[in-house]
């Protein structure tokens, strides 16, 4: 599995929101500028993140985007599913129609287990965890 640009950029933008929002919405153009991302691309990502309940938006003057829940309640698996859909390291997981050998495949259990471990790993990492790790790295550099 490759981590797509959509996933990486979504995580960067969400981390920026988590670190900087202080209870008020942030403008998408400010997030895009700081993260060196296209506003249009970020708008597309935010559409999915808002639809999934990770983000909320406020319209009007002083409006923008903000996390819809605390950073410790948003995990990486949730973000991945919002922008890319369900994780599947091989096509036969979740759909027997993908492979005609699916019902008696000798390796299917291996791929299912690997997929489960990967999901559990991403589920175990929250935005708050990533922010704290970042703070530790910055502190070590000083």
Q: What secondary structure letter does DSSP report for 86?
A: S
Q: Which helix (H) or strand (E) holds 100?
A: none
How many Å apart are CA 74 and CA 129, to the nearest integer? 10
What the chain holds in terms of domains, given with CATH numbers, is 5-141 (1.10.10.10)
Lowest-confidence segment of 30-34, 85-89, 97-101 by average pLDDT: 97-101
Cβ neighbours, 10 Å, residue 80: 23
23 three-class SS: coil
pLDDT of residue 100: 75
User: The dihedral of CA 27, 11, 134, 3: what is its sign?
Assistant: negative
Residues facing residue 65 across a β-bridge: 26, 57
How many Å apart are CA 29 and CA 37, to the nearest integer? 9
- pLDDT tens digit string along 67-81? 999 999 999 999 999
pLDDT band at 108 (very low <50, low <70, confident <90, very high): confident
pLDDT band at 96 (very low <50, low <70, confident <90, very high): low
Mean pLDDT of the chain: 90
- pLDDT tens digit string along 30-85? 999 999 999 999 999 999 999 999 999 999 888 899 999 999 999 999 999 999 99
Nearest to 48 by CA among 21, 25, 79: 79
How many Å apart are CA 1 and CA 7, to the nearest integer? 12
Residues facing residue 56 across a β-bridge: 66
pLDDT band at 7 (very low <50, low <70, confident <90, very high): very high
pLDDT of residue 12: 95
Q: Rounded to two decimals, what is the model's pTM?
A: 0.87
């Amino acid at each position: 599995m490759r981590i797509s640009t959509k996933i990486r950029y979504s995580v960067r933008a969400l981390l920026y929101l988590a670190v900087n929002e202080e209870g008020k919405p942030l403008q998408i153009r400010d997030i895009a500028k700081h993260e060196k991302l296209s506003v249009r691309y970020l708008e597309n990502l935010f559409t999915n993140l808002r639809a999934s309940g990770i983000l909320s938006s406020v319209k009007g003057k002083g409006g923008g985007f903000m996390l819809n829940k605390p950073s410790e309640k948003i995990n990486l698996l949730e973000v991945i599913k919002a922008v890319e859909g369900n994780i599947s390291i091989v096509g036969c997981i979740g759909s027997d129609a993908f492979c005609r050998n699916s019902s008696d495949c000798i390796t299917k259990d291996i791929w299912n287990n690997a997929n489960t471990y990967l999901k559990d790993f991403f589920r175990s990492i929250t935005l708050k965890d990533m922010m704290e790790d970042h703070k530790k790295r910055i502190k070590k550099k000083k």
